[in-house]
Amino acid sequence: MFMTSRRARMAIGVAAVAAMAVAGCSSKSKTSAPASSSPAGSSSPAASASGSASAAWDCGDNGQKITLKIGLFGNFAYKTAGLYDKYQQLCPNITIQEDDIEQSGDYWNKLKTNLAAGSGLDDIQAIEVGFVAQVTANYADKFVDFNTVPNAAQIKSTFYPWKWQMATSTDGKTVGLGTDAGPEAMCFRQDLLKAAGLPNDRNTLAQQWSTWDGFINFGKQYKQKTGKAFIDSVNSIFNAAVYQGNEAYDNAQGKPDVENSDGVKKAWQLAVQAAQAGITAKINQWTKDWNQSFASGTFATISCPAWMLAYITSQAGDAGKGKWDVTSLPGGAANWGGSWLGVPKGGPHEKAAIALATWLTAPAQQLTMWTSQHFWPSSQAAAQDPSVKTATSDYFNNAPIGEIFGNSAANLKMPPIGPYDTDIQTALDTELGNVEQQGKNPQQAWNDALAKIKQVTGS
Amino acid sequence: MTAVREAHAGVLAGTVGHPRKRRPRYALIGSKAAYLYVAPFFVVFAIFGLYPLLYTGWISLHDVSLLNINKMTWVGFHNYTSLWTNHFFLNALTNTITIGIISAVPQLLMALGIAHLLNYRMKGSIAFRIAMLMPYATSVVATTLIFGELYSRDFGFVNWFLHFFGVEPINWVNAPKWQSQLAVASIVIWRWTGYNALIYLAGMQAIPHELYEAAAIDGANRWQQFRKITIPSLRPTILFTVVVSTIGSMQMFAEPYLFGSGTNGGGNGQYQTLTLYLYQQGWQYNHLGFAAAVAWTMLVVCLVLVIINAMLTNARGRRG
């Protein structure tokens, strides 16, 4: 649903399992509870607007009992947030069955095989930002075009234009409706910074960390004073900074263009700088060691898209409450991740599936997902809701998360995306990991990464 | 791997210690009915074995993307010739062989020793035999995930143990080649040693007891008995396990895939095996034609190994 890195997405699966384990264990169930103190979405204008619309909601079931299968990966948390129950109250004839694959890499492998074979597809299939460009380029004809559904214009108007655009093919077919988006911020352990005798106030830090250079210099001080790692991984820097350029992995035509990308060049150089300064914890993201480090304080900072707040909360647990804090991302706004819900054409329950996908991504439900999981709405109608804007998080030391992520979302650059982004990013991340963990020569690592990317793109 | 081993396990029991019948005497009676009896297998084999095999061969001569499998471009043997200059493929081939060796050799040696010990009369031998088979019965996914915990850099048991000897924490999932390969091999060893031990044990129990008695009368000690009687009598069994382990390591996938959380097999491909490479090329990068060529090359390598083994067996048979 959200991340572009392959490893990242696997780990969300792990997170999903962890979340389930946590949910099943009553003594720990608080850790998966919403950390936001924002008011419930029900009183908000956006919610009530579509609340009144729901009075005449067309379930698309033609009065028959239907089971809708929804193919997801990782942790969409619709069930946790109670949305399925709510929909089944709205549409008593509909039973929703989740078909979830932990790792979104595996999910995509299965989905593209099914699309190629034209069988085995669910009524709704989630699409992630890592492969949405492959879907629009190759399979736009196999999905319902949301420009042609009833109320298309009204539905379209609720989303951020760039969210709609990313799921739209060159000939104008929109293959999915946006779920969440991933505006990024910087999460930090305010208690560790304080213990190191460094500023720990989020406004002061926002200034000192306004550039990545400032951030890395600050990290060197932290390392000097404590002897400990400042940030979790080079990937934390690279994956954020790469989306701050005009280009990330592709040129404006959506063709891979790593060597000439300003985003990649800058991000690579910053990541290498951090690796060589020794301020990273040398942990691969989404590994067991990484998960355990949220609680143990192995590192003090990590760049965090909105959806990662729930992840940090579940990994750091009750003991981490008030220790973590959030400030804006160095170097400007960036987006990491985001998903869509698509409806394969010609399914037995196409109409009901369109209705469900529309409902799940409608502003009111996006608000619920924000309140419950901190998934940032890709619906601008929901994002502008006061309950989002004024949200603070008591888990994250009362940080004004609505304002911080809202600023990031408002200032996002959306570099062009392409079909190979996930695998290109994995190749670069992996080689940066080698520089960081094995002291590999950066030039050698860069050449090896390019060789790997050639394997991916085949050119 | 599992299927292959199980299929051969039954055959094996018959091959040990019993002279093989050359040809059934009743071959001519009702031969048509016999064809009918075996037909279901061959029909199923043709659909699920032969057709995919040939189709894979056909695909391997084309440039074809998984994203658009109807558009195939003929490239002849280009996919095959490009393999030999592709250092990712050669790396995977080398890895497959080295991991195969460092997992199979200790595994089989230990299995032999354990089988020898279990062959003595003792109390609770059933319990020991069941215990031997437990790792084999454990899901490979569960095994690998637990080994992943053991090999965790910061919180793992292995590094904790090593630190008593002054060893710095090793990042096993992305360590120098031999270290990472050792970690992957250890999973295979743990899982398959008991299974092989049971195979050996079955073989040992088919060795006539008189041989040992005669040797004991001649004054041979236990070790000499083991070397001069057990090992030679077990030779067909050993060859069988060697072949099956070889085929198993050619197909090794789940362990490195789960250990390294993906098809890369470590940051520098330290333990990217051929199947991982095949999967990465075909299903992750969508180069289906190229992946098919890798698959066929693997088949050929496998066949070569089996032929070598058959020749060894025959050579021994002629000597005997």
Q: What pLDDT score was predicted for residue A17?
A: 38
pLDDT band, residue B22 (cuts 50/70/90): low
Answer yes or no: do B284 and A423 touch at CB < 8 A: yes
Closest B-chain CA to A109: B283
User: What does pLDDT average to over chain B?
Assistant: 86
A213 interface with B at CB cutoff 8 Å: no
- With respect to residue A403, please indicate whether it lies within any of the assigned structural domains: no
Q: Smallest CA–CA separation between B69 and chain A, in Å? A: 7
Which of A287, A292, A424, A453 is the best substitution to test chain B (most B C-beta atoms within 10 A)?
A287
Q: Nearest by CB to B285, from A113, A433, A456: name it.
A: A456
- With respect to residue A307, please indicate whether it lies within any of the assigned structural domains: yes
Give B-chain residues touching A287 at CB under 8 angstroms: 152, 173, 261
A7 interface with B at CB cutoff 8 Å: yes
A10 interface with B at CB cutoff 8 Å: yes
Q: Contact at 8 Å (CB) between A133 and A425?
A: no
Same domain, A437 and A303: yes
- With respect to residue A349, please indicate whether it lies within any of the assigned structural domains: yes
CB atoms within 10 A of CB B123: 7
Contacts of B305 (CB under 8 A, 6+ apart): B243, B246, B247, B250
Q: What pLDDT score was predicted for residue A29?
A: 31
| Mean pLDDT on B50-64 | 95
Last residue of a domain, one of A374, A397, A420: A397
Is it the case that residue B9 has pLDDT exceeding 90? Answer: no
Answer yes or no: do B67 and A138 touch at CB < 8 A: yes
Q: Nearest by CB to B267, from A109, A433, A456: name it.
A: A433
Q: Contact at 8 Å (CB) between A393 and A116?
A: no
Q: Smallest CA–CA separation between A245 and chain B, in Å? A: 26
Q: How far apart are the first and last CA of chain A?
A: 29
Give B-chain residues touching A423 at CB under 8 angstroms: 284-285
Q: Hey, which residues 206-265 in chain B have their CB within 8 Å of chain A? A: 261-262, 264
Give the type of residue at A201. Answer: D
Answer yes or no: do A438 and B69 touch at CB < 8 A: no
Same domain, A171 and A319: no
Give B-chain residues touching A114 at CB under 8 angstroms: none
- With respect to residue A1, please indicate whether it lies within any of the assigned structural domains: no
ipTM of the complex: 0.77
What is the domain count for chain A? 2
Domain span at A100:
6-31+39-181+337-397
Closest B-chain CA to A6: B262
Last residue of a domain, one of A397, A429, A445: A397
Same domain, A417 and A451: yes
- Complete domains list, chain B, with CATH: 2-25+78-319 (1.10.3720.10)
Residue reference for tokens 């083991």: B226
Same domain, A260 and A347: no
The first and second tokens of residue B141, run together, are 């996914």
Q: Nearest by CB to A455, from B67, B88, B176: name it.
A: B88
Strands (E), A307-439: 324-328, 335-342, 376-377
Closest B-chain CA to A108: B284
Give A-chain residues touching B281 at CB under 8 angstroms: 455
A289 interface with B at CB cutoff 8 Å: yes
Torsion of CA B151, B154, B156, B158, to 10 degrees: 70
Answer yes or no: do A134 and B88 touch at CB < 8 A: no
Last residue of a domain, one of A351, A375, A397: A397
Closest B-chain CA to A456: B285
A335 interface with B at CB cutoff 8 Å: no
Least confident of A366-370, B16-20, B101-105: B16-20
Same domain, A133 and A189: no
Q: What pLDDT score was predicted for residue A56?
A: 74
Same domain, A163 and A76: yes
Q: What pLDDT score was predicted for residue B235?
A: 86
- With respect to residue A416, please indicate whether it lies within any of the assigned structural domains: yes
Is it the case that residue B8 has pLDDT exceeding 60? Answer: no
Q: Contact at 8 Å (CB) between B4 and B250?
A: no
The first and second tokens of residue B22, run together, are 């050359």
Give the type of residue at A29. Answer: S
List the Cα angle A254/A259/A260 in 5-degree steps: 70
- With respect to residue A141, please indicate whether it lies within any of the assigned structural domains: yes
A282 interface with B at CB cutoff 8 Å: yes
B193 interface with A at CB cutoff 8 Å: no
- With respect to residue A405, please indicate whether it lies within any of the assigned structural domains: no
Same domain, A217 and A244: yes
Answer yes or no: do B267 and A455 touch at CB < 8 A: no
Same domain, A341 and A428: no
**How do residues B231-249 score in pLDDT, each as one tens digit?**
889 988 988 888 888 889 8
Is it the case that residue B60 has pLDDT exceeding 90? Answer: yes
Q: What pLDDT score was predicted for residue A285?
A: 85
Same domain, A160 and A269: no
Same domain, A24 and A159: yes
Same domain, A143 and A167: yes
List the Cα angle A187/A189/A192 in 5-degree steps: 155
Which of A9, A103, A289, A454 is the best substitution to test chain B (most B C-beta atoms within 10 A)?
A289
CB atoms within 10 A of CB B190: 17
pLDDT band, residue B27 (cuts 50/70/90): low
pLDDT band, residue B16 (cuts 50/70/90): very low
Same domain, A290 and A390: no
Total number of residues shown for chain B: 320
Q: Nearest by CB to A433, from B153, B174, B283: name it.
A: B174
Answer yes or no: do B262 and A105 touch at CB < 8 A: yes
Comparison of pLDDT for A49 and B99, the residue scoring more: B99
Q: Smallest CA–CA separation between B18 and chain A, in Å? A: 48
Nearest to A429 by CA among A267, A300, A256, A204: A267
List chain A pLDDT tens, one digit each, 459 residues: 444 343 344 344 444 333 333 333 333 333 333 333 333 333 344 443 444 444 578 898 888 899 999 999 988 999 999 999 999 999 999 999 999 988 788 899 899 989 988 889 999 999 999 899 999 998 999 999 999 998 999 999 999 998 999 999 999 999 999 999 999 999 999 999 999 999 999 999 999 999 999 999 999 999 999 999 999 999 999 999 999 999 999 998 889 999 999 999 999 999 999 999 999 999 888 887 888 889 888 999 999 999 999 999 999 999 999 999 999 999 999 998 899 999 999 889 999 999 999 999 999 999 999 999 999 999 988 998 998 989 999 999 999 999 999 999 988 888 999 888 989 999 999 999 999 998 999 999 999 999 999 999 875
DSSP H or E run through A410: helix A401-410
- With respect to residue A402, please indicate whether it lies within any of the assigned structural domains: no
H helices within A139-186, ranges in order?
152-158, 161-166
Tell me the percentage of chain B whose pLDDT exceeds 70. 88
Output the domain CATH number for residue A298: 3.40.190.10
